[in-house]
């Protein structure tokens, strides 16, 4: 029986293995309806693109209201105001890829203010959090420009992935 050909290291394609990533989704917002499917689709598309790699491990996502994110903002950043998204870095020794906390209330009000779909605004917050985990920062003006450019590239990945990413909120009535 002939021997199977092998590929030498020089001939092997240069392809990095995708890090293992699991999602823990915690919906603490009474306004958001079953965000799991949309969040998984969003993060799978960004992760599969390989464009913005993050650490291996469990990525924790929390959907909260303005009061809850304001408390986290006060506790960890000494700013008691509500904000759109807060990201905590990876802790590889604990098998954590990081944590992203987003305010559903903030996304709703900002989407209404800008006359944008709620899903688009909430997706932007999740992308923004992911990019922080991928090493992007937005504290300085020069860094903010790079972050905005990366956000647009990541949102384009979502568009090109042609995934149905629709976050739903409860309606009154």
Enter the pTM of the model. Answer: 0.86
Kindly report the number of other CB atoms within 10 A of residue 2's CB atom.
4
> Is the separation of the CB atoms in 23 and 58 below 8 Å?
yes
DSSP 130-145: HHHHTT---SSHHHHH
* pLDDT tens digit sequence for 59-115: 999 999 999 999 999 999 999 999 999 999 999 889 999 999 999 999 999 999 999
- Using the predicted structure, report yes or no on whether residue 150 has a pLDDT greater than 90: yes
Split at pLDDT 50, 70, 90, the class of 148 is very high
Is the domain spanning 21-161 CATH 3.40.390.30? The answer is yes
* Residues ≥6 apart with Cβ < 8 Å to 110: 84, 116, 121
> Is the separation of the CB atoms in 94 and 84 below 8 Å?
no
Distance between CA atoms of 41 and 113, rounded to whole angstroms? 26
Nearest Cα residue to 44 out of 139, 138, 164, 171: 164
> Is the separation of the CB atoms in 79 and 69 below 8 Å?
no
124 phi and psi angles, rounded to 5 deg: -60, -40
Distance of CA 148 to the CA centre of its chain: 14
In this prediction, residues 142-168 reach a mean pLDDT of 89
**Annotated domain spans of the chain:** 21-161
**What is residue 172's predicted lDDT score, i.e. its pLDDT?**
64
Nearest Cα residue to 16 out of 64, 43, 49, 61: 49
Q: Which residue has the tokens 């499917």?
A: 37
């Amino acid at each position: 029986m002939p021997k199977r050909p092998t590929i030498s290291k020089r001939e092997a394609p240069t392809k990095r293995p995708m890090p293992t990533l699991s999602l823990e989704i915690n919906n603490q917002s009474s306004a958001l309806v079953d965000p799991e499917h949309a969040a998984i689709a969003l993060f799978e598309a960004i992760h599969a693109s390989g464009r913005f790699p993050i650490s291996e491990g469990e990525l924790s996502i929390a959907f909260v209201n303005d009061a809850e994110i304001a408390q986290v903002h006060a506790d960890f950043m000494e700013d008691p105001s509500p904000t759109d998204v807060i990201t905590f870095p990876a802790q590889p020794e604990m098998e954590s890829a990081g944590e992203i906390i987003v305010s559903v209330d903030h996304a709703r009000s900002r989407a209404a203010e800008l006359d944008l779909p709620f899903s688009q605004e909430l997706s932007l917050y999740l992308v923004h959090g992911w990019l922080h985990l991928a090493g992007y920062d937005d504290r300085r003006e020069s860094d903010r420009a790079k972050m905005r450019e990366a956000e647009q590239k990541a949102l384009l990945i979502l568009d090109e992935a042609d995934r149905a990413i629709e976050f739903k909120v409860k309606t009154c009535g």
